[in-house]
């Protein structure tokens, strides 16, 4: 592992890669600070830019945006009670109370330092577990891959926010959109609606940019801006001896919890943050301070969300399966470069695999340096009116969509998916599962066909192979856990009537 990490650092510390890691971290922090932007929309908008970059450089930059957003989200959550990220919602509960009490500096410091420690541990966890999982995955056949992908889709449905049935609908819609185009085996056209531009399928970049970027802009435009000033002065950006002693156990618990839950597909990132906060409320000796500015309520969740953001790379890099919407975008960025993530990635792309892992630690160090001294800059950025931001973003969307294939049709696709994404938001459908279904759907179909060909049409192959059977059993249990509460509620309502 040390030799591999040495290879990774020799790749990551080149001038170009360090420069783009810094750019990614700055952009990620900025969009984390700004409410309503988010890493999914930003990475969607920047996907066309990656086409002209080296694959390693582009992935380092995109990864920096992703975990940089987790840092930035805590700044606006603590100072303004405005969570820039979903995971920062928990931070507002205690962090903003600390700011109101004049302890904003301590809250910002523990968020940055806890995140750096969690990121360091999680990076080592990724480096240690990646090759192990890759070795296991090399023994997978088509039946195992099909069952694992099906389990991932079910887990993404169960763990997604909001209605489970709406999440399931989004997964199905994503799978259907992924099947648009020409069937590789039969050559038949599917769901193309007569458009020759769709013979090769729906464009990943127009879909992502429309569903997340354009739709988010439309949603933000209908909401009047309400950006307040900081509740109080920031104060010293350091911890007292007592605060440090209280924060350390919370950071350790949050790091462990986030490292494990971040691997889960769907909502592992948000789940780890909320789970850490609930854990701290139960085990902390100072639980009576929760709700009025307990430092444990900032240290634990912030460590958990950063650890989870790092370990969510594990299934993407080793199995080619996205743990969340951002990882689905990462897979899309690699596919644009002609690289297929999965078990063979370590052997075929060792510099990319280990260079990305090494850049995570470097990026985390950069983020500590960026976040603490530049608090004043981020507060100023929050005051920029959105009416000056969105026209530039829309122009960038149009140019980016056109530049991939030099096709006006891709610009039209982006606009259409933007309207679809806005409609989904208004109907309270979570769009992230759609992107996961879009990426995994074609893969699931391919492995299904391979398994059926090898077994001569015998569907029993999926339960005869032990690993495949285990994955299917876990999927059934997850479905049962999803359906049982609604059945019980219906029975209770029937009895009460």
Tokens of residue 163, six digits:
């209605």
What is residue 255's predicted lDDT score, i.e. its pLDDT? 92
> ∠ CA(159), CA(160), CA(162), 5° rounding?
120
Compute the distance between CA of residue 145 and CA of residue 447 in angstroms, rounded to an integer. 7
The span from the CA of 178 to the CA of 173, in Å, is 9
- Distance CA(191)–CA(180), nearest Å, equals 5
User: Measured between alpha carbons, how far is 388 from 368 in angstroms, rounded to an integer?
Assistant: 29
- Give residue 471's pLDDT: 84
Q: Do residues 450 and 142 touch, judged by C-beta distance below 8 A? A: yes
Cβ neighbourhood burial of 478 (10 Å; 0-12, 13-18, 19+): middle
Distance CA 431, CA 167 (A): 8
Residue 493: how many CB atoms within 10 A of its CB? 9
**Token pair for residue 425?**
């938001």
3-state helix, strand, coil in the chain (%, to 5): 75, 0, 25
152 lies in which domain range?
2-496
Domain count of the chain? 1
State the Cα–Cα distance between residues 320 and 346, nearest whole angstrom.
12
Across the chain, which distance is largest between two alpha carbons, in Å? 71
Separation between Cα atoms, residue 107 and residue 298, nearest integer Å = 7
**Regions of the chain short of the pLDDT cut 70:** 34-38, 80-87, 89, 137-138, 158-162, 184, 223-237, 264-270, 375-376, 378-386, 389, 404, 482-497
């Amino acid at each position: 592992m040390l030799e591999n990490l040495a290879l990774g650092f020799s790749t990551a510390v080149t001038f170009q890669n360090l420069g783009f890691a810094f750019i990614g971290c700055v952009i990620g922090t900025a969009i984390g600070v700004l409410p309503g932007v988010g890493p999914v929309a930003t990475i969607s908008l920047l996907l066309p830019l990656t086409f002209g970059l080296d694959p390693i450089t582009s992935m380092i930059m995109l990864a920096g945006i992703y975990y940089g957003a987790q840092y930035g989200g805590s700044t606006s959550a603590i100072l303004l009670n405005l969570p820039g990220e979903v995971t920062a919602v928990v931070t507002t509960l205690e962090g903003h109370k600390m700011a109101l009490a004049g302890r904003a500096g301590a809250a910002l410091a523990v968020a940055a330092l806890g995140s750096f420690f969690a990121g360091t541990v999680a990076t080592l966890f990724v480096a240690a577990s990646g090759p192990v999982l890759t070795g296991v995955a090399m023994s997978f056949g088509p039946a195992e891959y099909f069952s694992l992908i099906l389990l991932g889709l079910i887990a993404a449905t169960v763990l997604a926010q909001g209605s489970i049935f709406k999440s399931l609908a989004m997964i199905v819609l994503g799978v259907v959109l992924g099947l648009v185009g020409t069937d590789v085996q039969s050559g038949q056209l599917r769901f193309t609606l007569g458009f020759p531009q769709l013979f090769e399928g729906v464009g990943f970049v127009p879909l992502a940019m429309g569903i997340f970027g354009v739709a988010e802009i439309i949603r933000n435009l209908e909401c009047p801006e309400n950006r307040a000033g900081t509740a109080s002065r920031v104060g010293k950006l350091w911890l007292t001896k007592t605060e440090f002693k209280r924060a350390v156990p919370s950071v350790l618990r949050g790091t462990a919890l986030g490292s494990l839950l971040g691997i889960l597909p769907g909502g592992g990132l948000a789940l780890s943050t909320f789970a850490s906060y609930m854990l701290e409320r139960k085990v902390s000796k100072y639980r009576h301070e929760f709700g009025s500015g307990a430092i444990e309520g900032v240290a634990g969740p912030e460590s958990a969300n950063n650890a989870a953001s790092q370990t969510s790379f594990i299934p993407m890099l080793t199995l080619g399966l996205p743990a969340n919407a951002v990882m689905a975008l990462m897979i899309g960025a690699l596919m644009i470069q002609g690289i297929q993530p999965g078990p063979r990635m370590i052997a075929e792309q060792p510099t990319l695999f280990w260079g990305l892992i090494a850049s995570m630690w470097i990026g985390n160090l950069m983020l500590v340096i960026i976040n603490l001294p530049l608090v004043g800059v981020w507060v100023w950025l929050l005051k920029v009116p959105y009416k000056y931001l969105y026209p530039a973003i829309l122009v960038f969307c149009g140019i980016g969509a056109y530049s991939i294939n030099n096709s006006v049709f891709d610009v039209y696709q982006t606009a259409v998916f933007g309207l679809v994404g806005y409609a989904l938001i208004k109907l309270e459908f979570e769009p992230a599962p759609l992107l996961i279904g879009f990426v995994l759907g074609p893969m699931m179909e391919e492995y299904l066909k391979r398994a059926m060909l090898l077994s001569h049409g015998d569907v029993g192959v999926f339960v005869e192979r032990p690993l495949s059977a285990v994955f299917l059993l876990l999927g059934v249990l997850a479905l049962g856990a999803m359906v049982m509460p609604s059945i019980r509620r219906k029975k209770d309502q029937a009895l009460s009537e």
